[in-house]
A and B are shown apart, each in its own frame.
Chain A
Amino acid sequence: DTGVSQDPRHKITKRGQNVTFRCDPISEHNRLYWYRQTLGQGPEFLTYFQNEAQLEKSRLLSDRFSAERPKGSFSTLEIQRTEQGDSAMYLCASSLTSATQYFGPGTRLTVL
């Protein structure tokens, strides 16, 4: 399968714990995006990378959130000191420059 993959698919954690999600984009795609989607809403942009450079971050991305794409391939999104309001589906997408974005299956986070 050469699509976008995300791991884990589901994560349940207690408030205050740190969590890390991984996204593996389509191999030749240079752009990688992170979005967050809460129940009944459309996704919201969090951040994006072009190769290994993080070029834009949303105001939604508080200082508890950090994302990396160290070698311009896979990316990680870490949330420190999780809060109940962080419960959401975290979606990763990749594209070749400004072309169509291909989405992964998402990681559903539940913070108890």
Chain B
Amino acid sequence: KNEVEQSPQNLTAQEGEFITINCSYSVGISALHWLQQHPGGGIVSLFMLSSGKKKHGRLIATINIQEKHSSLHITASHPRDSAVYICAVTSTGTASKLTFGTGTRLQVTL
């Protein structure tokens, strides 16, 4: 079993829909990260959080430390949101190396 599990693996939505991507982890963490990867490989960090909730534009990330679960929400989705969204954790005592989930491929259509 992977230390970081994401669901769903693939997601298709219509423009304007509210999207949720889930991440569960099985290890103690010092931080959880949400990243976005576009075709061609470039990875951009969206959020780093260790508790509660963070919001940036139409993106919201939440984490429940007790349940070892995080969600990434996209409000009013747009075709330019189409990408792979990756959850990653920094395990406690690992000096910030990241352990990644396999990603969720999101396609937003008109």
Chain A residues at the B interface, C-beta cutoff of 8 Å = 31, 33, 35, 37, 40-45, 48, 50, 55-56, 89, 91, 93, 95, 97-103, 105-106, 108
Contact = CB atoms under 8 A, between A and B. Distances in A.
A97 B35 CA distance: 19
B53 interface: no
Nearest to A95: B96
Interface of A is mostly: strand
B70 to A, nearest CB: 15
Given A45-B97, A48-B96, A91-B43, 15 more contacts: A35-B100, A40-B102, A42-B101, A45-B99, A56-B97, A89-B41, A98-B31, A98-B96, A100-B45, A101-B98, A103-B35, A103-B44, A103-B45, A105-B42, A108-B41
Contacts of B97: 33, 45, 48, 56
Size range of the interface on B? Answer: 20 to 34
Contact of B98 (A43, A50, A89): A43
A37 B88 CA distance: 14
Contacts, number: 63
A42 B88 contact: yes
B96 A31 contact: yes
A93 B100 CA distance: 14
Contacts of B40: 105
Contact of A45 (B4, B44, B98, B101): B98
A107 to B, nearest CB: 9
Interface in B1-52: 4, 30-31, 33, 35, 40-45, 48
Contacts of A40: 102
A103 B42 contact: yes
Nearest 4 pairs of A and B residues by beta carbon: A42-B100, A103-B43, A106-B41, A98-B96
A95 B45 CA distance: 12
Nearest to B102: A42
Max chain B C-beta neighbours (<10 A), residue from A33, A41, A98, A101: A101
